[in-house]
Amino acid sequence: MVILKKCEEYQLDLIKSILKESLGELNFFNDVKEDSRVFIKLNLVGPFPKETGITTHPVILQAVIQLVKEKTNKIIVGDNPATRDMIYTLKKCNLYDVIQEENVELLEGTIFEKITNSNPKIYSTFEVSKQMVDTDVLINLPKLKTHTLAYMTTAQKNFFGLIYGLDKSSWHAKASSPLQFGEAINDLYGAFLEKFKDKQIYHICDGIIGLEGEGPTSGGNPIKANCLLISKDAVALDRVACEVASLDYSKLFINKIANDRKYGNGDINKITIIGNQLSDFDDVKFKAPKDSLSHIGLRLLQLKPIKNLLLEHPKFIKDKCIKCGECVKICPPHALSIKKKEFPNIKSLSCIRCWCCAEVCPQNAIDRTRRPLLGKIFLKTDKKKK
Ligand code: SF4
Ligand code: SF4
């Protein structure tokens, strides 16, 4: 079941009342006991202010904390941002003041625990932040966003933040094609579901202001979708979110893999939607990331030598770049380098097109080169299927 609610503004009382009713439908106030420990998982991908639509909005966080406090005060809040420290990122995202005001505990992300997927495709064991999984209830607070590599990211991919800081980027090197990455993300998600077998997970996705185009960070553009989605099934929530945003489900490969593995319900015809209906969001039309690929294109790109002939690679916008080197630090195959006071350099043959560099760039200074002619010919033959 997915609860879909129209909500047009970040107004604390309004959001609290919508969430109170919706969480009540999902039995939240019985599941959470006086001594329950609750972890609130933010989307804290980087230091971006609330109006950019990139990270968890402070009003959503405050509403959730206040509702949890009706049952328990054992609350921890946090995420593992890809760069810099969490306090810096929380301040930039306008979230730090809420955490101070509500007087809740902050994640100490560097204490780890191993979680295991007993039936993996690529990876079986994951070292994740202990406080995130050593809890009775987890509340996941993703944003409704497009994603250059994953097409769209909402509830399920927000669990990538279980992995600590820069360790996330090494994943892209290990699972360097998008399809492998999709399998690996699902391996992690499966391990997480096993860990939470007897515990409760809630997902609250904020699409009041979402992100379209070259997400999930500063390459995308904020767009109003005026919705909140609430569910206990991340796969079903993501499937419904794809419809709300009018995006092409054939390209949502992480969700398709999850549905095949029965980690949740990705079949739109079998998902019960309550609250508003999809037709109430007919006017919401997110721009997809440029040249996003569907399944056949993705399979072709598993062949490493072909990638360079078919795909665009990052290029730097010199007017915007401040030579901070964040992109160089995160690049998984070390395809980027930078000398003091110079712009970054790319060895395009080493680039695996993970777009981590664009994700962490604070200046939105990383664009794409044009897709090579061969790529235009081969990858464009893969038509949209719905
Ligand atoms: S240059 Fe950017 S897209 Fe290429 S591998 Fe490095 S981080 Fe990924
Ligand atoms: S491209 Fe962005 S992340 Fe890289 S050095 Fe320039 S400003 Fe920093």
Three-state SS letters, the chain: CEEEEECCCCCHHHHHHHHHHHHHHCCHHHHCCCCCCEEEECCCCCCCCHHHCCCCCHHHHHHHHHHHHCCCCCEEEECCCCCCCHHHHHHHCCCHHHHHHHCCEECCCCCEEEEECCCCCCCCEEEEEHHHHCCCEEEECCEEEEECCCEEECCCHHHHHHCCCCHHHHHHHHCCCHHHHHHHHHHHHHHHHHHCCCCEEEEEEEEEEEEEECCCCCCEEEEECCEEEEECCHHHHHHHHHHHCCCCHHHCHHHHHHHHCCCCCCCHHHCCEEECCHHHHCCCCCCCCCCCCCHHHHHHCCCHHHHHHHCCCEEECCCCCCCCCHHHHHCCCCCEECCCCCCCEECCCCCCCCCHHHHHCCCCCEEECCCCHHHHHHHCCCCCCC
If you take atom 4 of ligand 1, which residue's CA is the nearest one? 351
pLDDT of 381 reads 42
Residue 382 has pLDDT above 50, yes or no: no
If you take atom 7 of ligand 1, which residue's CA is the nearest one? 331
For the ranges 119-123, 295-299, 316-320, the lowest mean pLDDT is seen at 295-299
For the ranges 300-304, 306-310, 346-350, 353-357, the lowest mean pLDDT is seen at 300-304
Structure-token pair, residue 191: 């391990």
Q: Are 2 and 271 in contact (CB under 8 A)?
A: yes
Calculate the average pLDDT of the chain: 89
| Residue for token pair 């979680």 | 115
Residue 122 has pLDDT above 90, yes or no: no
If you take atom 8 of ligand 1, which residue's CA is the nearest one? 354
If you take atom 3 of ligand 2, which residue's CA is the nearest one? 361
pLDDT band at 300 (very low <50, low <70, confident <90, very high): low
d(C-alpha 206, C-alpha 62), whole Å: 13
Q: Does residue 182 or residue 142 have the better pLDDT?
A: 142
CATH of 2-281, one of 2.40.10, 1.10.8, 3.40.50, 3.30.70: 3.40.50
Pairing of the two strands 75-78 and 105-106:
parallel
Q: Which amino acid is at 2?
A: V
CA of 368 to the centre of ligand 2 (A): 14
What average pLDDT does the segment 323-341 reach? 91
Fold designation for 312-370: Alpha-Beta Plaits (3.30.70)
What average pLDDT does the segment 146-152 reach? 87
| Residue for token pair 């009342």 | 17
What average pLDDT does the segment 220-224 reach? 95
pLDDT of 385 reads 37
Closest CA relative to residue 379, chosen from 313, 305, 311: 311
Q: Are 305 and 229 in contact (CB under 8 A)?
A: no
* Positive/negative CA dihedral, 265, 160, 250, 145: positive
Strand partners, 298: none
Instruction: Tally Cβ neighbours within 10 Å of residue 243.
Output: 16
Residues with CB under 6 A from ligand 1: 314, 331-333, 335-336, 346, 351-357
Residue 174 has pLDDT above 70, yes or no: no
Closest CA relative to residue 91, chosen from 41, 50, 142: 50
CA of 348 to the centre of ligand 1 (A): 9
Please report, for the chain, the start and end positions of each structural domain, with discontinuous segments joined by +: 2-281, 312-370
pLDDT per residue as tens digits for the range 254-275: 999 999 999 999 999 999 999 9
**353 Cα nearest atom in ligand 1:** 3
For the ranges 107-116, 185-194, 319-328, 370-379, the lowest mean pLDDT is seen at 370-379
pLDDT of 332 reads 80
CA 181-182-186 angle, to 5 degrees, is 115
Ligand index nearest the alpha carbon of residue 307? 1
CA 50 to chain centre: 16
What average pLDDT does the segment 129-151 reach? 93
**357 Cα nearest atom in ligand 2:** 3
CA of 182 to the centre of ligand 1 (A): 17
pLDDT of 223 reads 97
Q: Does residue 142 or residue 173 have the better pLDDT?
A: 142
If you take atom 2 of ligand 2, which residue's CA is the nearest one? 361
How many CA within 13 A on the CB side of residue 104?
A: 26
Backbone angles phi, psi at 203, to 5 degrees: -120, 130
Residues with CB under 6 A from ligand 2: 316, 321-327, 344, 361, 363, 365-366
If you take atom 4 of ligand 2, which residue's CA is the nearest one? 327
pLDDT band at 186 (very low <50, low <70, confident <90, very high): very high
Q: Are 112 and 128 in contact (CB under 8 A)?
A: yes
What average pLDDT does the segment 332-343 reach? 91
Structure-token pair, residue 361: 């760039």
CA 32-34-35 angle, to 5 degrees, is 95
What average pLDDT does the segment 344-360 reach? 86
pLDDT of 127 reads 87
CA 329-211-375 angle, to 5 degrees, is 65
Substitution candidate for ligand 1 out of 354, 366, 368, 369 with most atoms within 8 A of CB: 354
pLDDT band at 302 (very low <50, low <70, confident <90, very high): low
Residue 70 has pLDDT above 50, yes or no: yes
Ligand index nearest the alpha carbon of residue 338? 2
Q: Does residue 302 or residue 63 have the better pLDDT?
A: 63
pLDDT of 308 reads 67
Residue 98 has pLDDT above 90, yes or no: yes
pLDDT of 383 reads 40
Q: Does residue 214 or residue 344 have the better pLDDT?
A: 344
If you take atom 8 of ligand 2, which residue's CA is the nearest one? 324
Closest CA relative to residue 334, chosen from 185, 170, 160: 170
